[in-house]
Amino acid sequence: MTIGENKNEAAIRKLIEEFAKALGAKDVDGCMSVFAPEIVSFDILPPLQAVGADAFVRHWHEFFESYQGPLHVEFPNVSVSADDNVAFSYCLHRIAGTLKNGHKTDFWLRWTAGWHKTNGRWLIVHEQVSVPADLASGRALLDLKP
């Protein structure tokens, strides 16, 4: 734990570290281990929302199947605020890798997660992943860096 951090915040940071490792390894089960069965996700992949673990797991398969090899994943400077039952975390996070078509990607995303503790276990019940957009062109801005 860092100074001023409570045990719940430390536990969530540990889960985010494990999630980052699973994401880098393209481990669907490892990624899903931090999400509640009733997850509601507003992700960068369509549709606008995925409700429930069954719908959300399809996102992971689709995303991972588009890349060859492992991914480079960073969740630096995560902010976490937690009480005994509810928490939220947010940060800019980086994903880099090579698509199956050979195109290299390296982009930063905005990531926010709402957590709930059930039966002593922290799980993400809501996740939002987004990128800024250029309103004039309507295009996502994937080349911005912090």
Residues 108-145 have pLDDT tens digits of 999 999 999 999 999 999 999 999 999 999 999 999 99
Q: Could you give phi then psi for residue 83, rounded to 5 degrees?
A: -110, -150
110 closest CA partner among 84, 71, 145, 65: 145
Backbone phi, then psi, for 104, in 5-degree steps? -90, 135
111 touches 92 (CB < 8 A): yes
| Fold observed for domain 7-131 | Nuclear Transport Factor 2; Chain: A, (3.10.450)
Mean pLDDT of the chain: 94
Residue that is written with structure tokens 């009480």 in the block: 83
With a CB cutoff of 8 Å and minimum separation 6, the contacts of 138 are: none
| pLDDT exceeds 60 at position 34 | yes
pTM above 0.85, yes or no: yes
